[in-house]
C-alpha cells in the first residue's frame, strides 16, 4: 500500500508542478514535463483520435489478466538488471553491459510486457482505477489538443507500479536503463531512485537533443562522444551524478575488421553511399512525425546525390533502412526505389546483410541523420550528415558541426573537398579525432 501511495504522490506532484510552472529547475518538474513529449508507442494520428482513451484502457484491461515473460532471469548472484523496451536483444544487451561496465546482469525486464498479470492485489487496484478514471480521462482527452496524453499517462503510471513491484520482489539494486527516448523515462528513473535503485541510463548514440534534453539518472553512459558536448550544453536540465563514455549500442555486432585500425586500406568500390532512414515508409505507416519535413528532405538529398554523381561520373550506393528490408515491405521498397535505380551509376546494397557490412565499400557516407552514421563515425569512416531543417542540431561549436550540412549547396561543397581526403586527413581536418574509440 505504501508503494502505491508514494508512486501516486510523485505522479500528482510532477503534473501539478508542470501545470502551475513551479520549481522549474527541479528533477520532478523535469520528469513531469517529459511526460508531454512525443511517443513512438502509438501511431502519429493517435493524438487526434477521440476514442484513444477507450482503446488504451481496453488494451490495458485485457492485458492485466495475461501472464507474460516480463522478467527474464539470468544470474542469481547479481542484483543488477537491464531494462529495455522488449526482450528481442537480450544477448546483445547483456554482453554490451558486461563489456563496458564489467558487471553481470541478473535479469532483463521488458517494458512492453509490464502491463500483465503480476499479482491479484495489483490487478484489483488497476481494474478499480480504470473504471473510476475512465469518464474524467475521456472528457479531458476530448478537449485536449493531444488526445493521447492523459490516457497514455495512465498506462505509464501502471507500468511504473509494475516495474517497482518487480524491483522490490527480486531485490534489484541497480538498473541499466535502455530505450530512454520514451517520454516516461525520467518519471520511471526518478521513482526508482526514490526506492533506492541506482539508475544507469544508456541513451544510444542518437544525439540527446532529439529526445533527451532532460535526463534524470544516477549515471549516464554515453554511446557517442558528441553526447558529452550536448551534456555540457544542456547542463541545466541534466540531473545526473556520474557519466561514462561507452560505445554505440550495436558495436559488438560490428565486423571485427573494423575494430582494428582507424584507416581502412581496402579500396572502396563506390564513391558515395546514401544511408536511408526510410522516412517515406514511416510516413505511409503513420509513424510519429518529428516535424522537420524528413520525408521530403531525404528525397531531396537522394536526388541531389544522384545528380552530383552523374555530373562527376561517380558511383552511388544506396543502403536501405532495416524497416525497408522487412519482407512485408519488400515490394513497396522495390517500387519506391525503382525511379532512383534507373541510372547506371546508382545501385542498391545487398538487402540480405546489415548496412554496416558495407561501410568499407564506399569512400564517403551521406545521410539525413541515421543512427548508423554515428556508428560509422565511431569506427573511423568518412561521413557527412545532412540534417536539413534541424535548428538545434548539431551544436554550432561542436566538432560534429564540421561534417554537417543544411542545404544541397553545402553538401556539394563538402563532397568536393572530402571525397579527395584520406580517412586520416578527413578526421584531422574536421577535428573529429575525439569521436574515435580509445582502442584506435
Output phi, psi for 270, to 5 deg: -130, 150
Last residue of a domain, one of 227, 252, 277: 252
Q: How many CB atoms lie within 10 A of CB 60?
A: 19
Placement of cell 528490408 in the chain: 325
For residue 264, pLDDT over 70 is answered with no
Q: How many CB atoms lie within 10 A of CB 169?
A: 11
Average pLDDT, the chain: 94
Placement of cell 508503494 in the chain: 3
* Cross-sheet strand order for the sheet of 270-275: 346-348, 316-319, 270-275, 362-367, 383-385
User: C-alpha angle 66/70/72, rounded to 5°?
Assistant: 135
Output phi, psi for 60, to 5 deg: -60, -50
Are β-strands 174-177 and 80-84 bridged in parallel, bridged antiparallel, or unpaired?
parallel
Residues 382 and 366 in one domain: yes
Output phi, psi for 222, to 5 deg: -65, 145
| Mean pLDDT of the 156-167 span | 98
Max mean pLDDT among 40-44, 60-64, 249-253 falls in 60-64
For residue 35, pLDDT over 90 is answered with yes
For residue 225, pLDDT over 60 is answered with yes
Residues 205 and 269 in one domain: no
What pLDDT does residue 77 have?
80
Alpha-carbon torsion, ordered 211, 215, 216, 217, to 10 deg: 100
Closest among 339, 340, 329, 323 to 279, alpha carbons compared: 323
Tell me the per-residue pLDDT of 274-285, one tens digit each, with 9 for 90 and over: 999 999 999 999
101 within some domain: yes
* Residues 166, 71 contacting (CB under 8 angstroms): yes
Residues 116 and 196 in one domain: yes
Domain carrying residue 277: 254-435
Confidence of residue 262 (pLDDT cuts 50, 70, 90): low
**% of the chain residues with pLDDT over 70:** 98
24 within some domain: yes
380 within some domain: yes
Last residue of a domain, one of 208, 229, 252: 252
What pLDDT does residue 438 have?
44
Residues 151 and 104 in one domain: yes
Closest among 255, 34, 296 to 149, alpha carbons compared: 34
Residues 271 and 383 in one domain: yes
Residues 258 and 247 in one domain: no
440 within some domain: no
Least confident among 142-156, 260-274, 301-315, 338-352? 260-274
For residue 397, pLDDT over 50 is answered with yes
210 within some domain: yes
Last residue of a domain, one of 224, 252, 280: 252
Residues 159 and 74 in one domain: yes
Burial environment of residue 415 by CB neighbours within 10 A (0 to 12, 13 to 18, 19 or more): buried
What pLDDT does residue 121 have?
96
For residue 439, pLDDT over 70 is answered with no
359 within some domain: yes
Residues 385 and 327 in one domain: yes
Task: Please name the residue ranges forming H helices in 144-293.
Answer: 149-169, 185-194, 208-211, 226-233, 279-285
More confident residue, 265 or 155: 155
Q: How many CB atoms lie within 10 A of CB 51?
A: 14
Instruction: List CB contacts of 131: < 8 A, sequence separation 6 or more.
Output: none
Are β-strands 215-222 and 198-201 bridged in parallel, bridged antiparallel, or unpaired?
parallel
Confidence of residue 316 (pLDDT cuts 50, 70, 90): very high
| CA pair distance 57, 60, nearest whole angstrom | 5
381 within some domain: yes
CATH of the domain at 423: 3.40.50.2000
Closest among 146, 207, 194, 157 to 32, alpha carbons compared: 157
The reported pTM is 0.94
* Residues 123, 165 contacting (CB under 8 angstroms): no
What pLDDT does residue 126 have?
98
Residues 210 and 354 in one domain: no
* Residues 175, 199 contacting (CB under 8 angstroms): yes
> Structurally, how many domains does the chain consist of?
2
Residues 248 and 305 in one domain: no
* Residues 202, 176 contacting (CB under 8 angstroms): yes
54 within some domain: yes
What pLDDT does residue 261 have?
61
Residues 66 and 105 in one domain: yes
Tell me the per-residue pLDDT of 405-434, one tens digit each, with 9 for 90 and over: 999 999 999 999 999 999 999 999 999 999
Residues 276 and 396 in one domain: yes
The DSSP letter of residue 201 is: E
Amino acid at each position: 500500500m505504501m508503494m502505491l501511495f508514494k508512486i501516486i504522490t510523485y505522479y500528482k506532484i510532477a503534473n501539478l508542478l508542470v501545470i502551475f510552472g513551479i520549481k522549474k529547475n527541479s528533477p520532478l518538474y523535469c520528469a513531469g514535463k517529459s511526460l508531454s513529449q512525443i511517443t513512438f508507442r502509438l501511431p502519429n494520428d493517435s493524438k487526434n483520435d477521440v476514442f484513444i482513451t477507450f482503446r488504451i484502457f481496453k488494451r490495458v484491461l485485457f492485458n492485466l489478466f495475461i501472464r507474460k515473460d516480463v522478467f527474464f532471469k539470468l544470474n542469481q548472484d547479481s542484483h543488477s538488471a537491464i531494462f529495455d523496451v522488449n526482450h528481442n536483444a537480450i544477448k546483445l544487451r547483456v554482453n554490451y553491459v558486461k563489456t563496458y561496465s564489467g558487471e553481470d546482469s541478473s535479469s532483463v525486464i521488458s517494458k512492453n510486457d509490464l502491463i500483465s498479470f503480476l499479482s491479484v492485489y495489483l490487478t484489483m487496484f488497476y481494474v478499480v482505477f480504470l473504471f473510476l478514471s475512465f469518464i474524467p480521462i475521456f472528457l479531458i482527452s476530448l478537449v485536449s489538443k493531444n488526445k493521447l496524453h492523459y490516457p497514455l499517462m495512465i498506462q505509464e503510471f501502471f507500468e511504473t507500479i509494475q516495474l517497482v513491484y518487480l524491483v522490490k520482489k527480486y531485490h534489484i539494486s541497480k538498473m541499466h536503463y535502455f530505450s530512454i527516448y520514451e517520454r516516461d523515462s525520467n518519471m520511471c528513473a526518478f521513482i526508482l531512485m526514490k526506492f533506492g535503485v541506482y539508475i544507469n541510463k544508456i541513451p544510444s548514440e542518437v544525439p540527446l537533443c532529439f529526445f533527451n534534453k532532460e535526463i534524470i539518472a544516477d549515471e549516464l553512459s554515453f554511446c557517442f562522444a558528441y553526447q558529452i558536448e550536448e551534456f555540457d550544453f544542456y547542463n541545466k536540465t541534466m540531473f545526473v551524478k556520474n557519466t561514462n563514455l561507452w560505445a554505440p549500442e550495436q558495436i559488438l555486432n560490428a565486423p571485427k575488421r573494423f575494430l582494428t585500425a582507424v584507416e581502412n586500406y581496402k579500396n572502396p568500390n563506390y564513391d558515395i553511399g546514401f544511408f536511408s532512414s526510410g522516412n517515406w515508409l514511416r510516413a505511409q505507416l503513420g509513424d510519429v512525425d518529428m516535424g522537420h519535413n524528413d520525408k521530403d528532405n531525404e528525397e531531396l538529398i537522394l536526388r541531389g546525390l544522384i545528380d552530383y554523381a552523374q555530373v562527376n561520373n561517380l558511383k552511388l550506393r544506396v543502403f536501405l533502412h532495416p524497416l525497408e528490408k522487412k519482407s512485408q515491405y519488400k515490394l513497396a521498397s522495390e517500387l519506391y526505389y525503382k525511379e532512383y535505380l534507373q541510372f547506371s551509376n546508382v545501385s542498391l546494397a545487398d538487402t540480405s546483410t546489415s548496412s554496416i557490412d558495407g561501410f568499407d565499400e564506399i569512400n564517403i557516407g551521406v545521410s539525413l541523420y541515421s543512427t548508423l552514421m554515428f556508428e560509422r563515425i565511431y569506427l573511423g569512416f568518412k561521413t557527412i550528415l545532412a540534417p536539413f531543417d534541424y535548428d538545434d542540431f548539431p551544436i554550432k561549436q561542436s566538432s560534429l558541426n564540421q561534417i554537417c550540412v543544411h542545404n544541397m549547396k553545402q553538401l556539394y561543397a563538402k563532397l568536393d573537398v572530402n571525397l579527395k581526403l584520406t580517412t586520416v586527413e578527413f578526421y584531422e581536418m574536421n577535428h573529429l579525432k575525439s569521436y574515435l574509440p580509445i582502442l584506435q
